[in-house]
Amino acid sequence: MAPRDPREPHRVASPLELLFDLCFVVAVAQASAHLHHGLTEAHFTQAIVGYLLVFFPIWWAWMNFTWFASAYDTDDVPYRLAVLVQIFGVLVLAAGVPRAFEDRDLSVTAAGYVVMRMGLVSLWLRAAIADPAGRSTALRYAAGVTACQTGWLLLLGLATDRRWLGGWLALASAELLVPVWAERARPTPWHPHHIAERFGLLTLIVLGESVTSATVAIQSAVTATAVTPGLVVVIVSGVLIVFSMWWVYFDQPAHHLLVDGHGAFVWGYGHLVVFASTAAVGAGLAAATDHAIGRSQLSPASAVAVVAVPTACYLASVWILVIAPLRRARR
């Protein structure tokens, strides 16, 4: 498993990576759907906390594999099998999302997450054997990820919500620190164009959740006996929001921003807000549609907020990660 050339021309996402993204979006769709139901019932705290607890492992497993594949994608049979194991893990995680929201039972989602992460550990160990120059980095990744997964398994025995939340915060912080520690040994040879494309593709796929919600709003207007002004507002504003979200993110190529390790960390970690808020806009539009047709417990102000707040988070994160840096680069 030799490292890929970070200056390799015409580096694009592989069909296996596209399948990987598609299966991950199944988990994102589950999280978004349950956030929608929680918002519709005005259970804001429970819905938002559950959404964040579930979305973090989805995003983190996807991002870790994406950066690994940018450096070591060999696309041979052992590599494909290890990736398929990770895809199976995200399907298990997605299956556990309803229990995580409804019963605060994170055991299934944690089990799926551990399967995904251990599949990646096998790839890091293979890279350590095949790439002597990057062996120290690969072994640090393998050791750090394995230690974190041991912690998640131990956490399964802690049943109370308070212990779950405290343990979750500690282990999530540890997960975020693993790449910082591992990359100090020797940076992995990731490809800037490839990384920018991979993040853009997932943004498009997650944006599909908002497109689906806008479509549902239009469908509600088509099938309704009387179209209310509120429903018209949701349709028009929802379509404009979705189009604008696409426009501001893809207005300029972003690979110019990925020039060093610090920029890569800011870019990758900051996209947690981009992805989470993108899917949350879809959930908010669905909840606003329910309010417009009289199937929600939301107040008018809350029906506006469930769309406005994630949209504001999306715009702020894209401004910080993409728009402002590109303007500084042009100057």
The residue among 117, 147, 182 that closes a domain is 182
Work out the pLDDT band at 246, boundaries 50, 70, 90. Answer: very high
Judged by DSSP in three states, 187 sits in coil
- Confirm whether 6 is domain-assigned: no
Give, for 104, the enclosing helix (H) or strand (E): none
* Range of lowest pLDDT (205-219, 234-248, 251-265): 251-265
- Confirm whether 316 is domain-assigned: yes
Segments in 156-260 forming alpha helices (H):
161-182, 192-223, 229-250
Work out the pLDDT band at 221, boundaries 50, 70, 90. Answer: low
- Two tokens at 210? 């908002």
162 & 216 share domain: no
Question: Over 90: is that where the pLDDT of 139 sits?
Answer: yes
- Confirm whether 101 is domain-assigned: yes
What is the number of domains present in the chain? 2
266 & 304 share domain: yes
219 & 307 share domain: yes
Contact (Cβ atoms closer than 8 angstroms) between residue 257 and residue 10 = no
Report the sign of the C-alpha dihedral through residues 130, 144, 188, 186, in that order. Answer: negative
97 & 214 share domain: no
Work out the pLDDT band at 216, boundaries 50, 70, 90. Answer: confident
- Confirm whether 222 is domain-assigned: yes
Distance CA 318, CA 308 (A): 15
218 & 266 share domain: yes
- Two tokens at 165? 């939340």
144 & 75 share domain: yes
- Two tokens at 167? 């343990």
155 & 34 share domain: yes
Give tens-digit pLDDT for 55-108. 999 999 999 999 999 999 898 999 999 999 999 999 999 888 888 877 777 788
Global pTM reads 0.91
The residue among 182, 210, 241 that closes a domain is 182
- Whole domain around residue 275: which residue ranges? 192-330
- Two tokens at 117? 């992460």
